[in-house]
Amino acid sequence: MSRIPRQIVIETNNTCNLKCLSCPSVDGSIDKYGKGYMDFNFFKSIIDRVEKEKMNTSITLCLNGEALLHPQYFDMAKYITDKGLPWYVTTNTTIWNEELFQMVTEINSCYQIVLSNNGLFTPNSMAIEKCMPGIQRNKSKKNIESFFKLKESKGNNIQAGIKICRRGQDQEELEHLISYWLEAGADFVTIGRILTDCNNGMRMFPCRHFDDMAMYVRYDGNVVPCSFNLHMTNEHAMDMGKLNETESIIKFYNKHEYQQLRFKHYTGEFPWPCNQCAIAYTGDGMEGEMHFRNLKLSQKTIYFHDDYSNTFYSYHPKKTRVSHLRDWQPDEEIINWVKKSGMDLNFEYKTGGR
């Protein structure tokens, strides 16, 4: 009955070269946690175990920070690639890594790259600089366009998308951004929510992040239930423990702390900070076709997919893994398993001061 995470999210580092609005690197929570870089040998041990345990799992090399700042990022990416595991990369477009980008446009295991951009490059828009202080717009634009050209020249099918976070841009600029990047060669454009709504939620359904969706490993080996609630990520609100270099990942993902948290969610009990979280992974989202009302932007059909955190726009339907979709119901299997295990059902998590 073991849960197996569909994704292993690895924090290569939590350092960044920008000061984006509403980012943990700005609010001080990362400084309180402590900045650092994941040890390459520890990283390899994670990947080796994913391969050894034959997990049908993809790897994400990003949690906090700008991942490409890790001095061994290319070596990490190549190690995953050599193992034949699927993975993807997210970057803030400030760094051009020739060796990395050449590799990801020549292989098939890196299935997606997400390029962050938050404003139009027109002179009358300052959204890029206001949303992402420290960025150089001309360098960012050049890096994005260069990657699109490189991908096209290689004929590679990696999905290259633009990620925009709502940080105060007006609606018309967002519409222009969607139109501009889809016409410029992006496979999709994503508009995401800012991860700050952690205190005003009205919870009803269990969160899927720590069910069988993902396992989040910090650079120092600490494991957290999710990367969306900032209390969870940087404030030790609910530690799952520290992963060492040898223990089974599947066994770790099914340890007491994880199973107890799942049990509480399935039975409608949401411990802090889950009880106040408005960005929990619930629901299966909505999808369909749409058109711009302003036909000058585009007259093409745009396919959208909206979920708890992001809205995706593309000229092609978004591929959804059907296995992710299920009607919500209490997971009787895990409830019975927890009861038979003799676990303390009044177990309290170590929380960050609340």
Q: Can you give the pLDDT at residue 272?
A: 92
What contacts 203, CB < 8 A, 6 or more positions away?
Answer: 270, 274, 275, 276, 277, 280
Q: Can you give the pLDDT at residue 350?
A: 47
Q: Can you give the pLDDT at residue 23?
A: 82
Mean pLDDT confidence for 233-252: 93
Pairing of strands 58-60, 110-116: unpaired
**What is the distance between the alpha carbons of residues 335 and 344, in angstroms, rounded to a whole number?**
13
Q: Can you give the pLDDT at residue 324?
A: 44
Radius of gyration of the chain (CA): 20
**What is the distance between the alpha carbons of residues 77 and 90, in angstroms, rounded to a whole number?**
12
Contact 178, 207 (CB under 8 A): no
pTM of the predicted model over 0.85: yes
- Among residues 229, 236, 232, which one has the least CA distance to residue 194? 229
Pairing of strands 302-306, 310-314: antiparallel
Mean pLDDT confidence for 308-312: 92
Contact 352, 269 (CB under 8 A): no
269: burial class by Cβ within 10 Å (0-12, 13-18, 19+)? middle
DSSP state at residue 178 = H
pLDDT digits (tens, 9 = 90+) for 145-197: 999 999 999 999 999 999 998 888 899 999 999 999 999 999 999 999 876 66
Question: Which of the two residues, 199 and 197, has the higher pLDDT score?
Answer: 199
Mean residue pLDDT of the chain comes to 88
Mean pLDDT confidence for 338-353: 54
Q: Can you give the pLDDT at residue 334?
A: 63
Of the listed ranges 142-156, 207-221, 283-297, 328-342, the one predicted with least confidence: 328-342
DSSP state at residue 275 = G
Grade residue 301 by pLDDT with cuts at 50, 70 and 90: very high
**188-210 burial by CB neighbour count: b if 16+ within 10 A, else e?**
bbbbeeebeebeebebeebbbbb
Look at the chain and count its residues: 354
Kind and range of the H or E element at 151? Answer: helix 137-154
pLDDT digits (tens, 9 = 90+) for 96-134: 999 999 999 999 999 999 999 988 898 889 888 999 999
**What is the distance between the alpha carbons of residues 247 and 258, in angstroms, rounded to a whole number?**
16
Q: pLDDT at residue 351 above 60? A: no
Count of helix runs (H) and strand runs (E) in the chain: 12, 11
pLDDT digits (tens, 9 = 90+) for 276-290: 888 889 988 899 999
Among positive and negative, which fits the CA dihedral 288, 322, 160, 140?
positive
Q: Can you give the pLDDT at residue 216?
A: 96
**What is the distance between the alpha carbons of residues 130 and 326, in angstroms, rounded to a whole number?**
40
Which residues are 305's β-sheet partners?
A: 287, 312
pLDDT digits (tens, 9 = 90+) for 218-241: 999 999 999 888 888 888 888 899
Mean pLDDT confidence for 35-52: 97
Angle at 174 between CA 171 and CA 177, to 5 degrees: 155
